[in-house]
Amino acid sequence: MVLSLQFVVVMLALLVTLLSTVSPMETSPVEALIGAPPLLTAEGQSIGIDGKPVEDHPFLGIIVEGGIPDGLSAGVEVSPLSFLRLHLAAVSNGVGLGVRVGLALVALPCFPIRPLIAFDAGYVFSGTGAWALQFISDPTLRSALSAVNAGFLDAHVGLEFGSKHFAVVLRGGLSYVDVDLGGHTFTTGTNSTLTAGGTSLRGFIPSARLGLQVCF
């Protein structure tokens, strides 16, 4: 569980560092290094220092997804470079709310079908936003699930389908999950109780996400 939290903190620090050092107006890594502004043709087309047209790409986006083990998520995404996506999202698995950070590297960013590889880290905290618990009638099970904390690390490959402003994103791969079930006291029905200590479950599971991406 500590590993998952540490990875989330590291990813957040990486995202902040990249955003503070890369401007959305940069047109290429070479121009960014030398600080050269984009050039314009008579028609207003941006060109790089090599004389080739520069492809504009959206910098800011919104992404909504659903999947396993993350659950439902909604967040913001930035693209400081055409092939790089960084995102920060709120997630809910039905028994808690949490946060997820990640990055994706996109091949063929100017094509309508774009392969990608992505890495994410997230953590879901128990006792917050547990909307799924209202569908569980057993009070003992409902109480036990309300104490579940979960961390996860995702490694995915996938595809983006659509334009650079609107796309469907499908990805799948493996996730390392670290679930803390917490301690709980059970009533046996004979005016006595049974207290169970905390239990952790860790391991790799298949994972997948499907989402909609809107960029500006």
The pLDDT profile of the chain, 216 residues, written as one tens digit per residue, is: 555 556 566 666 666 665 565 544 444 444 444 445 556 566 555 565 556 665 678 999 999 999 988 889 999 999 999 999 999 999 998 878 899 999 999 999 989 999 999 999 999 987 666 666 676 777 766 666 677 888 999 999 999 999 999 999 999 999 999 988 765 555 555 565 555 556 788 999 999 999 999 998
The verdict on residue 48 lying in a domain is no
Domain limits for position 77: 2-24+59-215
Residue among 135, 78, 124 nearest 103 (CA): 78
The verdict on residue 32 lying in a domain is no
**What's the first-to-final CA gap in the chain, in angstroms?**
36
147-185 residues labelled b (16+ CB within 10 A) or e (exposed)? bbbbbbbbebebbbebebeebebbbbbebbbbbbbbebe
DSSP 129-161: S-GGGGG---HHHHHHHTT-EEEEEEEEEEEEE
- CA-derived radius of gyration, the chain: 22
Is the peptide bond between 115 and the residue preceding it cis, with omega within 30 degrees of 0? Answer: no
The verdict on residue 47 lying in a domain is no
Number of domains present in the structure of the chain: 1
Q: How far apart are the C-alpha atoms of 103 and 29, rounded to whole Å?
A: 18
The verdict on residue 138 lying in a domain is yes
Q: How far apart are the C-alpha atoms of 53 and 74, rounded to whole Å?
A: 34
Task: Tell me if 176 sits within 8 A of 207, measured CB to CB.
Answer: no
What's residue 201's pLDDT? 87
Torsion of CA 185, 188, 189, 190, to 10 degrees: -110
What's residue 20's pLDDT? 62
What's residue 25's pLDDT? 44
Collapsing DSSP to helix, strand or coil, 33 comes out as: helix
Q: What is the CATH number of the domain that holds 96?
A: 2.40.160.20
Structure tokens at 49: 């220092």
The verdict on residue 46 lying in a domain is no
Full-model pTM: 0.70
The single-letter code of the amino acid at 158 is G
Q: How far apart are the C-alpha atoms of 176 and 37, rounded to whole Å?
A: 43
Torsion of CA 194, 195, 198, 203, to 10 degrees: 0
